[in-house]
Structure 1
Amino acid sequence: MTLPAFFVAHGSPTLALEDNEYTRFLQKLGQSLPAPKAIVVFSAHFDSPDQLVTGDEVLNTIHDFYGFPDEMYELTYPAKGHAELTEEIASLFRAGNLPFKVITDRGLDHGAWVILRLMYPEANVPVISLSVDSKRSPQEQYEIGRMLQSLREQDVLIIGSGGTVHNLRLLGSGKPAPWAVEFDQWIGSRLEDWNLRDLFDYEKRAPHAREAVPEYGTEHFIPLFYAMGAADKDRQAQRLFQDYQYGTLSLNCWQFGGSASETEAEAEAEAAEEAEEAETA
């Protein structure tokens, strides 16, 4: 079985406390997927010029935000690491001639743990966090993801966490801003066609690109390329969810590889097989 890769918007950190259509979607998504052996997550809040790979036995919960309700700072997500997977990722990066560093004592930033806490609330799936580099070209970011696509055949779930429209200086309220919707529609059509030429040049070609992806905030958009690269063999994209916070903060989820129905069917078949084995045991 080959798991899909995903791009998942993490929105505001308060999603960890909210009950809304998007949080319920993420909960259902985690339940519908076959149980992964481990999760590899590229987070917008782990931006580094060096390619970093976590090698922690247990990852600390990083509360890398300010001015939020006190209960936000009490939330934890004590995910375990996976030493064998860290070493396999290192081998894949060596094979791709990508310099990297394995680090410990960093933990999981909120771009990772907020969505994982919704998808896998028991923190019972090992997690490896990988940095992104907002200074690399989109093609380089895509190629790094492509180096890891074989992991999907080993029941490893690969996630890019960020936001296609993420400009905190243009937050609004009420209905989604037309310019944000237009940008997401342009990106969506290119994803569905797997049009890498346009996507790699989105800054010049996409409408309202500078508003949607400001120069100071490109790190939130680029996890999309890492996740896409991890599904290069499939080259299939499907939008599973789209909404907005504050009119301009895009909440979307894209699946790369396979289809949502196939994934859910595989999960149901696996659950039925396990139930049958339990009955005959």
Structure 2
Amino acid sequence: MKHISLLLFLLSLASSVLAQEVVIDTNYYAPPPVVRKKVLTADPDQNPDRRRSVNRQKTDYSPAYQLKETQTWYVSLEGGFRTDGSLLNNSFDGLFSSSSTTKSAWSALLGYTYRNSWTVETGYTYAPIHLNITIPNGSRPLIYNYQNSGYGIPLRIKRRIGSASHATNGTGFWLSAGAWLVPNGKVNTDDFRLVGYTYHNNRPRTADTIRLDNTTTTKSISGVAELGIDYSVRLSSSIEFSTYVRKYWGLGEAIRSDITYTVNSIVQPQSSITANGTGWGFGLSLRYIYGRQQEVKKPQNGHP
């Protein structure tokens, strides 16, 4: 009996020791619980001030690249008026005279512009050179008008000397200079021969027979030099409008009239009238830009 009691005591002691080794208090090693706080913030899309600040930050760091015209090609139509006159060296005491003439003129041109500063244009122009002879005849004077073929080939260079509000295009004042090649062709000659009488106040009254003989000729080729100023306005990306005033100087004779004056069959000193195209011109121009080359202009702030 004693042995059985001793055996039961040892078994109970061993089981208590095993129980102490298996049971572990995990509360000491457990991490603290995670507490998630619910915080509500304002929607940035609903905040205009924040949107403006974000946009401002984006624009501050974005380069403001611009396109700048470097070369343009255009066609142009001009229309206006031209005034030119003749040079008379002897009127025979007012027996005849020569006056200036104002007629319409037009041109069709091709042009090239470099960096909105220089322009070269050429083409075809119709601006006749005129010669006028007027002979008094009471209330109905005799008027003889002559003109060349009217065709010319101009070559013109322009330089911009000022700008308006749109400095990046052709708007502004342009100084122009150029020259024409003028094939005069054949003039529609209307040579005249006039016979008249002059009376003296002495008694008995005597009369002198006077005669005027005219011959008009043209030179095969002459030239015209010009100097002018234009003002251009860019109406759209492809259309320009301008006005111009130009001064012309003739280079060589274009038309010449030689008049022989005789009194009682005695030849007097001859007279000549020449026309070379010297005068003024003014009008309007409309250009269509059909070709354009541009470059990207770097920002001034130096950002890449």
Superposition TM-score, scaled by structure 1 size: 0.16
Work out which of the two has the higher radius of gyration on C-alpha atoms and give 1 or 2: 2
Q: Which has the higher contact order (CA 8 A, sep 6+)?
A: 1
**Structure 1 or 2: larger helix share?**
1
Superposition TM-score, scaled by structure 2 size: 0.15
